[in-house]
Amino acid sequence: FALRHIHCIISIELSESKPQMNTDKKHDSNIQAKINGTTREFKEGISILEAARNLGIEVPTLCHDERLKPCGACRMCLVEVKGSAQLVASCMNKLKDGMEIETHSAKTEKSRKMDLRMLARKYPREEFLKYAEKPFHQLAREYGLNENDFGAEANSKITDDSHAYIKVDMTRCIDCFACVRICEELQGQFVWQIGSRGQNTRIIWDRGATFAESSCVSCGACADVCPTGALEDRSVLENGFPEKWTKTVCPYCGTGCEMEVGVRGDKVVQIKPAMDSPVNHGHLCVKGRYAHNFVDAADRITQPMIRRNGKWGEVSWAEAIDFAAGEMKRIGEKYGNEAIAVLGSARATNEENYVTQKFVRVCLETNNVDCCARVCHTPTAAAMKMMLGTGAATNSFADIEITKAILICGANPTENHPIAGARIKQAVLKGANLIIIDPRKTELTKYADVHLQLRPGTNILLFNALANVIVEEELYDKDFVETRVAEFEEFKTFVAKYSPEDVAEKCGVAAELIRKAARLYATAKPAMSFHGLGMTEHLQGTEGVMTVVNLALLTGNLGKRGAGVNPLRGQNNVQGSAQMGCDPGVLTGGIALDDGREHFENVWGVPVPKSKGYNQLQMMDAAFSGKLKAMWIVGYDVYLTNANAHKTAASFENLELVIVQDLFLNETAKKYGTVFFPVASSFEKDGTFMNAERRVSLLRKTVSPRGNSLSDWEIVCEMARAVGKGEHFDFHSSEDIWNEIRKVWTNAGGITYKRLEDHGLQWNCPDEDHPGTEVLHTESFTKDVRAALRRIDYRPTKEVVSAEFPFLLTTGRTLYHFNAGTMTERTPNILLRPTDLLEISSSDAAEIGVTNSETVLIKSRYGEAKMPVQINDRVQKGELFCTFHSPEIFLNHITSPYRDRFVLAPEFKVTAVKIEKPAKTV
C-alpha cells in the first residue's frame, strides 16, 4: 500500500503496550529500557527514536526533523516493541519504563525495504541516479534498492521552475509532509498544503498558477527539509552540492542568525541554518539563506583605486595607502586634524570597528568617529543608558517563547528581522498576546489582539496615555515600583494629563483601544516589548524610547525572563560598531569618554583625546560649513542613506578627500570618492559580530577574499603604519584584536574566541567562568538599584501636512532588500522585489486617479523622487509608506532635515509630501 495510506495507521500510541522487563534500581524521573539488547536509564518523556539515537543506534527516518513535531508519515522509523503486535513509529511514541525494543530486527528491516520499494516504484529513476546525496536515495541504496526499483518518468506537469531560488519537482514527492509541516510550524506561513486526500493526495502551494505567485517568503525551510529534492535549491542544481561546510553568522540583520555555508571549489553554493543555534533554531530568512551572490557580482571592486582628474584608476595597495595617508597628513597640517573624520561600519566586525575608532583616537588624536547607529538606534542607546545605565537590549530572543504578551512598537519584524518575527508569530499562534503600535498594518497585525494604528509622529502622546491607564487603573507592579523605581509620585501627577480620551483624536486611535492595550500589557506577566526605527527616527526619538522604558518600569517588566525592552537592531553589527567605540563620546564597551580615559590610556599607552568630536550628522554640518575637509567612510553609503540628500550632497562637495572602503562603488564613492579601498566580504574573513541581544558570535572565513581585497582591519592597520603609528596596531589576526578589546572592555573579559566556538556569548561576561548574561538588571540597574520614570512632554514636529503637501510619508524596509540594497540588489532577490514601491490607500489612489504600478512623482518641501505605486489598505487614508533601497529612486532626496533633539538621528519617519503624475516625455 502507498505511504499516503499509512499516515494514520502508524500514529498508534502505545499506551496499552505492556512492559515486559523487570526494572532494577533507577533514579527519580528516569526510566529503564532495553534497546537492541542494551539496558540503560533514560529521561522520562523521551521518544523511542531519541532513546535509540542516544545509544548511537541510527534508526532511519525520512520525515523526522528536530525542528518539527513528529509525524510518523514515512514509516522508516518503525521498530518492534516486545508485547506489541504491530510495528510502532519510534518518533511518535514515548519510551516507557521496562520497554524492550528491537530497532533492526528482521521484521523491521523487511518492512522498511518494502516501503522503500513502494515509494521507488513511483519515483523517477533518472533523479535517483543523478543525485546520490539526497537522504531518500541514500537510504534506498542502504536497503539494497537499485535503479531497476525506480520506475517513474519525470512529469513536467507537476514541476515548476518559476521561483528565483527553489525548483519544484513533485514527481519526486514521497508525501512525507515535511514541507507542509515546516512551513506551518517554523515559518508560520502555510504555503504548502495537502491538496485532496487518499490516492490523489498531492502537495500544492497556496495560491497562483506558478509557485512564484504563491505567498512563499523564500525562507527555504521546505527545500531544507525535503528528503528527496522535490523541493530543491536552484543554486545546487546549477553549481553542484557543497564539498565543505563552515559555520558562520548571517551578513544581514541584527538578529544574528548562525548558518552553515556550503562551498564548492571556492564558491558559496548553498547556505543552511545552524540547527542548534539559540538565535535561529534551524531557520533562516530569504536574505540569510539565499542572498549571497553579491560575493561574486561582476561589478565588485577588488583592486584599490584612486580618482585623478575625475577618472578612477586601479593602483597597488602600496600606492593607495601612501596616497590616502599622505592626503590625510596634508589636510591635518593645513587645517588641523579636527578637519578629518572617520566612520566605522555596521557591516564590519567588532575587531574592525575597534581598530577604526582606535585609529581616530591614537593616530588622528581626535574623537571624530561615528557609525550608522547614529541614524537608527543611537536614540535607543541614549535613552536606555540614561534610564537604566546600559544602552542595549535587556533580554534575549529565547524569552519570546516564555513571555505572555508581546508589545511591538514601530517595528515590522517579519520583514526586517524575519527570524525574530517568525519566533514571535509562533509564540502568538501558541497563545501569547500581541499588541502592535504602528501607523501601518504589517503582517503581524493579522495576529494581534490590539493594533493601535496611530498617526506618524504621535508616539509620545500614545505611550504617555498607556502609562496613564496603567497608573490610573492601578495596574502597575506595586512591589517593583516600591523597590526598583524612583520618582513615581511625580510621574503619576505628570501623566494624569495624558488620558486616552485626551490624546485619542491627535493620535487617531480610539481611547478604548488604548485602554485595552494598556491592560493587556500590564496584566500579562511577564510581557516583553520590541521596538524599531518607528520609535527612534523622530524629533523625539530618544524620548520615545524613554516612554517605552517607562511602561516596563511601571509594570515590573525588567530584570526577569520573558520581559524587558528590546530594540531590534537593524544591521548585523550595528550594536557592535557603536559598542566598540565608533561614537565620538563613547569608548569601547559603551564607556563614556571621561569615565574610561584613564583605563584606556593605560592599555593603549597614549593619551585619549579630550575634544568633543563630531558625530555623523555634525560631520555633515561641519563639511557644509567648510570646517571638515576629509572623511574616511568604512562600509557605509552615506550619500544614499542620509536624510535630506541635497544637503548631504552640498556637504560632500566641500570635502578635499573622501576615502570609501566597501565591496562596490556605492553612490558616495561614485559621486564623491577620491580613494577606494576594496574589502573582503563577511564570507571572506574571520572576526566577531554582535547581535541585537548582545550576543557576540564568531564569524568564520568560508571562501578566499576576492582579487586583492583585504579585511577592513588589515587596511586600517596599514593606514596606521603609513601615518607612523604602526606600533599601536601590531595585530596579526582578528583574535589578536579581540584580545586587546577584552583588556579595555572589562565586561567582555570572559569572552574568548575559544568560548565562542559553540553559539557565542552575551555580555556582560567579565571572566572566563562567567556564563554570559541573558537578562540585564536582575538585581539592580547598572548604576543604581532604582531607575527613575521620565516625564516626557509631547513636542510636535514641524514637519506637518498642508494644503500643498497633504500626505504624511513614512519609510521602511522590505523583506527582500537590505538598507542601501548594495548587497541584495546584486542577488536574485531583485527578481522577488524589483523596485521600491509607494504604498497608498485605495481611497486616496481613487481620489488622485492613480492605478497600481503607475509611476508617480512624490514631492516634498526638500526634493522629489519617482516611483511606482502599490495600492493597498495597509496604510491609512492620508498616509503613504515606501521603501528606500534603490539608488535609482533615491528616496532621501525628499526626506526632511529635522533631527532627534538629543542625538541628532534624522526624522526619516515623517515627511509631508504631495503626489503628482510625471510629465509625459515626448
Query: Which of 274, 317, 361 has its CA nearest to residue 580?
Result: 361
How crowded is residue 520: how many other Cβ atoms within 10 Å of its Cβ?
18
User: Can you tell me whether residue 515 is helix, strand or coil?
Assistant: helix
CB nearer to ligand SF4: give 256 or 821: 256
Q: Are 69 and 185 in contact (CB under 8 A)?
A: yes
Q: Could you give the CA distance from residue 147 to residue 128 in angstroms, rounded to a whole number?
A: 7
Residue 419 binds to ligand SF4 (criterion: CB under 6 A)? yes
Is there binding between residue 875 and ligand SF4 (CB under 6 A)? no
Cβ atoms of 615 and 904 within 8 Å: the answer is yes
Helix, strand, coil shares of the chain, percent, nearest 5, are 35, 20, 45
Q: Evaluate the omega torsion of the peptide bond into residue 526 and state whether it is cis, within 30 degrees of 0.
A: yes
User: Looking at 151-159, 282-290, 530-538, 554-562, which segment touches ligand SF4 (CB under 6 A)?
Assistant: 282-290
From 287, 441, 538, 685, residue interacting with ligand SF4 (rule: CB under 6 A): 287
Specify the residue, 284 or 565, whose C-beta has the smaller distance to ligand SF4.
284
Q: Which is nearer to ligand SF4, 885 or 893 (CB)?
A: 885
Which of residues 368 and 829 has its CB atom nearest to ligand SF4 in the complex? 829
Least distance (Å) between residue 250 CB and ligand SF4: 3
Give the residue with the Cβ less far from ligand SF4, 134 or 813: 813
285: contact with ligand SF4 by CB under 6 A: yes
Q: How far is CA 363 from CA 300, 340, 371, 731, in A?
A: 30, 11, 18, 16
The yes or no reply on residue 255 touching ligand SF4 (CB under 6 A) is yes
The distance of closest approach from Cβ of residue 252 to ligand SF4 in the complex, given in angstroms and rounded to an integer, is: 3
The answer to whether residues 192 and 203 touch, using CB atoms and an 8 Å cutoff, is: yes
Residue 903 phi, psi dihedral angles, 5° rounding: -115, 5
From 13-21, 302-310, 415-423, 560-568, give the range in contact with ligand SF4 by CB under 6 A: 415-423
Of 368, 265, 775, which is closest to residue 566 (Cα–Cα)? 775
Nearer CB in complex with ligand SF4: 257/657: 257
Burial letters 437-469, b for 16+ CB under 10 A, else e: bbbbbbbbbebbbbbbbbbbbbbbbbbbbbbbb
Taking the alpha carbons of 737, 741, 743, 748 in that order, is the dihedral positive or negative?
negative
By the rule CB under 6 A, 413 interacts with ligand SF4: no
Q: Provide, rounded to whole angstroms, the least separation between the CB of residue 569 and ligand SF4.
A: 10
Regarding 300 and contact with ligand SF4 (CB under 6 A), the answer is no
Q: Select from 418, 439, 596, 772 the one that contacts ligand SF4 (CB under 6 A).
A: 418
Collapse the DSSP code of 797 into the 3-class scheme (helix H, G, I; strand E, B; otherwise coil) and give the result: coil
Contact call for residue 116 and ligand SF4 (CB under 6 A):
no
Q: Of the listed pieces 18-26, 416-424, 573-581, 899-907, which binds ligand SF4 according to CB under 6 A?
A: 416-424
Give whichever of 291 and 325 is closer to ligand SF4, judged by the CB atom: 291
Query: Looking at 177, 211, 252, 781, which residue binds ligand SF4 (CB under 6 A)?
Result: 252
The region of 255-263, 363-371, 432-440, 727-735 touching ligand SF4 under the rule CB under 6 A is 255-263
C-alpha cell of residue 439: 501607523
Q: Please, are residues 819 and 640 in contact by the beta-carbon 8 Å criterion? A: no
Give min distance, CB of 219 to ligand SF4, in A.
8
Which of 418, 456 has the CB closer to ligand SF4? 418
Q: Map residue 397 onto helix, strand or coil.
A: helix
Judged by CB under 6 A, how many residues of this single chain contact ligand SF4?
Answer: 14
Task: Name residue 453's amino acid.
Answer: Q
Considering the complex, state which of residue 686 and residue 693 has its C-beta at the smaller distance from ligand SF4. Answer: 693
Grid coordinates representing 586?
563613547
Q: What is the Cα gyration radius of the chain?
A: 29
Binding test (CB under 6 A) with ligand SF4, winner from 140, 176, 225, 284: 284
Helices (H) and strands (E) in the chain, counts: 30, 38
Minimum distance from CB of 289 to ligand SF4 (Å)? 6
Q: Judged by CB under 6 A, which stretch of 182-190, 194-202, 413-421, 595-603 contacts ligand SF4?
A: 413-421
Query: Any idea of the CA torsion for 38, 43, 44, 50, to the nearest 10 degrees?
Result: -70
Least distance (Å) between residue 378 CB and ligand SF4: 21
| 3-state SS track over 736-780 | HHHHHHHHHCHHHCCCCCCHHHCCCEECCCCCCCCCCCCCCCCCC
Residue nearest to ligand SF4 (CB): 288
Q: 418 or 562, CB closer to ligand SF4?
A: 418
The pairing of beta strand 807-812 with beta strand 911-916:
antiparallel
Looking at the Cβ atoms of 253 and 424, the one nearer to ligand SF4 is: 253
Name which of 577 and 764 has its Cβ closer to ligand SF4.
Answer: 577
Nearer to ligand SF4, 135 or 278 (CB): 278
Question: Minimum CB separation from ligand SF4 for residue 586, in Å?
Answer: 25
Say which residue the cell 524589483 belongs to. Answer: 834
Tell the residue number behind the cell numbers 490523489, with chain if given. Answer: 200
Segment near ligand SF4 (CB under 6 A), from 247-255, 329-337, 484-492, 768-776? 247-255
Neighbours of 144 (CB within 10 A): 11
- Rounded least distance, CB 28 to ligand SF4, Å: 40
CB of 271 to ligand SF4, least distance (A): 9
All three cell numbers of 10, joined, read 502508524
Q: From the list 70, 98, 124, 256, which residue makes contact with ligand SF4 (rule: CB under 6 A)?
A: 256
User: Is residue 347 at the binding interface for ligand SF4, with CB under 6 A as the rule?
Assistant: no
In angstroms, rounded to a whole number, what is the distance separating the alpha carbons of residues 580 and 575?
9
CB 541 within 8 A of CB 402: no
Closest distance to ligand SF4 from the beta carbon of 413 (Å)? 9
Question: Which amino acid, one-letter code, is at 17?
Answer: S
Based on CB atoms, which residue is closest to ligand SF4, 288 or 456? 288
| CA 397/CA 615 separation, integer angstroms | 31
User: Three cell numbers at 714?
Assistant: 588589515
C-alpha cell at 620: 555633515
Closer to ligand SF4 at the Cβ: 256 or 562? Answer: 256
250 binds ligand SF4 (CB under 6 A): yes
The correct pick among 300, 417, 817, 893 for binding ligand SF4 (CB under 6 A) is 417
CA 484/CA 780 separation, integer angstroms: 8
Closer residue to ligand SF4, CB minimum distance, 176 or 257: 257
Binding-site member from 48, 253, 346, 371 for ligand SF4 (CB under 6 A): 253
Least separation in angstroms between residue 820's CB and ligand SF4 is 15
Q: Which stretch binds ligand SF4 (CB under 6 A): 355-363, 414-422, 794-802, 883-891?
A: 414-422
Q: Of the candidates 548, 572, 382, which has an alpha carbon nearest to the alpha carbon of residue 467?
A: 548
For position 288 contacting ligand SF4 by CB under 6 A, the verdict is: yes
Determine the interface stretch with ligand SF4 among 251-259, 394-402, 545-553, 825-833 (rule: CB under 6 A): 251-259
CB of 284 or CB of 655, closer to ligand SF4: 284
Residues 132, 116: Cα–Cα separation, whole Å: 16
CB of 287 to ligand SF4, least distance (A): 4
Cα(780)–Cα(145) distance, integer angstroms:
65
- List residues binding ligand SF4 (CB under 6 A): 250, 252-253, 255-257, 280, 284-285, 287-288, 417-419
